[in-house]
Amino acid sequence: MNALPKKPLPEISDLTRPFWTAAREGRLVMQKCPRCGTVNFQPKPWCIECGERALEWTEMPSEGTVYSYTISHSVAMNYLGWQEELPVVMCLIDIDDGARMYAQLTDTVAEDVHVGMRVRVYFEEISKEAGIPKFRPA
Ligand SMILES: [Zn+2]
């Protein structure tokens, strides 16, 4: 019998560590540019708008809006842990006053998911050094 592999863990670098650590502590953070105010996500070594390198990790609001989504019913989620969650809803979410991020939406049925849906973040611990933000209907 073939055992399914566990869900892959993020590859954490010095650049991304603040995001994963904050998520483990129950906080959603993104890099904000002190010069132009742009919120950068995913983590980057410099601001995507003005090139500033001294970006500041800033706590984001806990809610956002679904920009787009996809629903997976099978094969791409062939990991232990995903199978029990099928169908899995993955969304692009515009965080209020923040940036757009990719995350899983739970606690809803696939038929109810829609563009413009208001969602709220919560966190799951996935390792000793990382948590992962997920979302539920607000
Ligand atoms: Zn900037």
14-27 residue pLDDT tens = 999 999 999 999 99
Output the CA 97–ligand 1 centroid distance in Å. Answer: 15
Output the CA 72–ligand 1 centroid distance in Å. Answer: 36
Answer yes or no: are the C-beta atoms of 40 and 32 closer than 8 Å: yes
Beta strand 131-137 with 118-125 is antiparallel
pLDDT band at 4 (very low <50, low <70, confident <90, very high): low
pLDDT digits (tens, 9 = 90+) for 100-115: 999 999 999 889 999 9
Answer yes or no: are the C-beta atoms of 126 and 118 closer than 8 Å: no
pLDDT digits (tens, 9 = 90+) for 28-60: 999 999 999 999 999 999 999 999 999 999 999
Q: Strand 39-40's sheet: what is its strand order? A: 39-40, 29-32, 56-59
Backbone φ and ψ of 63, nearest 5°: -120, 160
Answer yes or no: are the C-beta atoms of 88 and 102 closer than 8 Å: no
Output the CA 132–ligand 1 centroid distance in Å. Answer: 26
CATH placement of domain 17-137: 2.40.50.840
Output the CA 47–ligand 1 centroid distance in Å. Answer: 5
Q: How does the average pLDDT of the chain come out, rounded? A: 92
Dihedral (CA of 43, 135, 133, 10) sign = negative
pLDDT band at 72 (very low <50, low <70, confident <90, very high): confident
Output the CA 109–ligand 1 centroid distance in Å. Answer: 39
pLDDT digits (tens, 9 = 90+) for 113-130: 999 999 999 999 999 999
